A and B are shown apart, each in its own frame.
Chain A
Amino acid sequence: MPAGMPAGMKGLIVALSRRLFDAVRDLAPIIVVIAFFQVVVLQQPFPNLGSVVLGLVCVVLGLTLFIQGLETGLFPLGEAIAHAFARKGSVVALLAFGFCLGFGTTIAEPALIAIAAEAADVASQAGALADDDAVREAYAFNLRMVVAVAVGTAIALGVLRILKGWPIHALIIGGYVLVTVMTAFAPDEIVGVAYDSGGVATSTITVPLVTALGVGLAAAINGRNAMVDGFGLIAFACLSPMIFVLGYGMVI
């Protein structure tokens, strides 16, 4: 890996300008779609064109910096951790790390806090909860804990799968069947929340780190293939909250 020293300055500038171009290309579809529907379909002018342009400049610069940081920061870090754990050889420590990473990144996730509060309102309107703020707050907090434990368990289990080389489809399909069966028995008001809770574990910083960890582990362990074994942690992290939240809805 080339070190980012002054000799690499020119290379860095070339790389950055390439990324700048890529960022413009990545954002072009949104701009075209919004402009088309605003001007042609709804036939309305753009409000505050100046602030829109300033915002777009920020988005392009931000995406460029993010991708640059991904390649120099998050990916190498995930790989370094994977290699360090593989060399240390302690399965327990690795699983504990996986659980903490999943739990820690989920518990503070703003999207989850919002969904949990909304779910408490829905449950309270449906009459499943007493109409009381303290009860609603406790329900929302428990829901957040359930989802965080679910994601922690999912990452730990996903890491164990990489170590053992288990085929992913058996676990995922088993999970789908479980979700399907539980949907039939869970109270109606929890189902929409459960399905949507699957998406909250995948924050912008967790995904690159977890992906690099999985691929790095698969590459560091003999007999594992980066494509067959390295991916799939995110899929586990999306599936398990559905199961845990449906279960929580059935128990409570």
Chain B
Amino acid sequence: MEFVADFVDTAFGTAVDVLPIAVILVVFQVAVLRRRVPNLRRILAGFVAVLLGLTLFLIGLEQALFPIGETMARQLAAPEAAGAAATPTGTTQVDWRDYMLVYAFAAAIGFATTIAEPPLIAVALKAEEASGGAIGSWGLRLAVAVGVAVGVSLGAFRIVTGTPLSWYIIAAYAVVIVQTFGSSRSIVPLAYDSGGVTTSTVTVPVVAALGLGLAANVPGRNPLIDGFGLIAFASVFPIMSVLGYSMATSWLNRVRRARRSSEEAT
């Protein structure tokens, strides 16, 4: 059975990834903390569920989504699909408008993979709990996913046009810094965190395939130099969208409150 072999392989790989964490936890528990962990059996059962769940999740992705997603990313990046067949071969002149379909795919797949990203689900659940429900886990994930969609789409545009990565990233940092000073103190750390958790198990393989496929197919691009960087886009833009979402909701609340108090005054 190929499936069983896959399962054992993936489970082994996941267990190896977890091993260092387990060793560190046990060493500090035994040597430093020396306190019994409450509900130890329940926690161990939870650990097993996480390992088993992650294994099934990865196998399923490998089996169902990654092959199609990766082939699709490459096919869409090819000039014929992008409608750039009219470009005479041998020229390095690229019209960015020929790749509209690629930007649409980049945005759609960036959004969809982010919604399914397990670390983001974890952070969103924790945020809902820590904020006492003021920040909904679903709202946060939607905001992050919109940010990734815009980021990956813009990253695809950058690869097509061949403009330097650092311009975009540094400009994005500048926007984040300005937003930080206009946002409430309690959302800023969460927004910064949400930038880092988007680029994980589900998003990276498909998005990286898109980047490499584009860099290989667009005339004048080098996969080694231009293929990198989509991940960086996918990490910065969610910070912007989460801060933007929080600024928009607090502005709306202020407008609503102002309207209500002016109604009461009349």
Given that A72-B42, A198-B232, A237-B196 are contacting pairs, would A104 and B57 also be in contact in the complex, using a CB cutoff of 8 Å?
no
Interface segment out of the listed B16-24, B84-92, B248-256, B258-266: B16-24
Q: Does A51 contact B (CB under 8 A)?
A: yes
Given that A63-B57, A64-B53, A81-B33 are contacting pairs, would A176 and B63 also be in contact in the complex, using a CB cutoff of 8 Å?
no
Report B146-186 CB contacts with A as 1/0, cut-off 8 Å: 00000000000000000001100110010011001100011
Report A208-241 CB contacts with B as 1/0, cut-off 8 Å: 1101100100010000011111111111011000
How large, as a class, is the contact surface on chain A?
35 or more
Q: Does A122 contact B (CB under 8 A)?
A: yes
Alpha-carbon distance A202/B132, docked complex (angstroms): 25
Given that A26-B115, A33-B112 are contacting pairs, would A58 and B57 also be in contact in the complex, using a CB cutoff of 8 Å?
yes
Question: Inside 8 A of A228's CB, which chain B residues have their CB?
Answer: 185-186, 189
Q: Does B48 contact A (CB under 8 A)?
A: yes
Alpha-carbon distance A173/B16, docked complex (angstroms): 35
Question: Inside 8 A of B5's CB, which chain A residues have their CB?
Answer: none
Cβ distance B168 to chain A, nearest Cβ, rounded Å: 11
Given that A70-B125, A100-B24 are contacting pairs, would A3 and B42 also be in contact in the complex, using a CB cutoff of 8 Å?
yes
24 A-B contact pairs sorted by A residue (CB < 8 Å): A26-B121, A38-B68, A41-B101, A59-B64, A59-B65, A62-B54, A66-B49, A69-B46, A72-B46, A73-B42, A73-B47, A73-B50, A75-B122, A81-B28, A84-B35, A93-B28, A168-B192, A176-B177, A183-B170, A192-B165, A203-B119, A207-B119, A226-B130, A231-B189
B64 near A238 (CB under 8 angstroms)?
no
Q: Does A157 contact B (CB under 8 A)?
A: no
Alpha-carbon distance A142/B258, docked complex (angstroms): 58
Interface centre among B13, B25, B76, B189 (most CB of A within 10 A): B189
Question: Inside 8 A of A116's CB, which chain B residues have their CB?
Answer: none
User: Chain B binding site: helix, strand, loop or mixed by DSSP?
Assistant: helix
Cβ distance B39 to chain A, nearest Cβ, rounded Å: 6
Using A68-B49, A211-B123 as known contacts, list a sample of 16 further A-B pairs with CB atoms less than 8 Å apart, ordered by residue number in A.
A29-B112, A33-B109, A55-B65, A66-B53, A69-B45, A69-B53, A76-B38, A84-B35, A105-B20, A110-B17, A195-B228, A204-B119, A225-B186, A230-B130, A231-B189, A235-B196
B21 near A84 (CB under 8 angstroms)?
no
Question: Inside 8 A of B38's CB, which chain A residues have their CB?
Answer: 76, 80
Alpha-carbon distance A111/B59, docked complex (angstroms): 17
B189 near A108 (CB under 8 angstroms)?
no
Q: Does A46 contact B (CB under 8 A)?
A: yes
Q: Does A172 contact B (CB under 8 A)?
A: yes
Alpha-carbon distance A227/B61, docked complex (angstroms): 33
Cβ distance A123 to chain B, nearest Cβ, rounded Å: 11
B60 near A57 (CB under 8 angstroms)?
yes
Report B105-135 CB contacts with A as 1/0, cut-off 8 Å: 1001101110110110111011101110000
Partner of A52, one of B3, B45, B63: B63
Question: Inside 8 A of A65's CB, which chain B residues have their CB?
Answer: 49-50, 52-53, 56
Cβ distance B242 to chain A, nearest Cβ, rounded Å: 11
A97 near B28 (CB under 8 angstroms)?
yes
Cβ distance A211 to chain B, nearest Cβ, rounded Å: 5
Question: Inside 8 A of A219's CB, which chain B residues have their CB?
Answer: 130
Cβ distance A152 to chain B, nearest Cβ, rounded Å: 11
B33 near A104 (CB under 8 angstroms)?
no
B45 near A208 (CB under 8 angstroms)?
no
Q: Does A56 contact B (CB under 8 A)?
A: yes
Q: Which of A54-104 contact B (CB under 8 A)?
A: 54-77, 80-81, 84-85, 87-88, 90, 93, 97, 100-101, 104
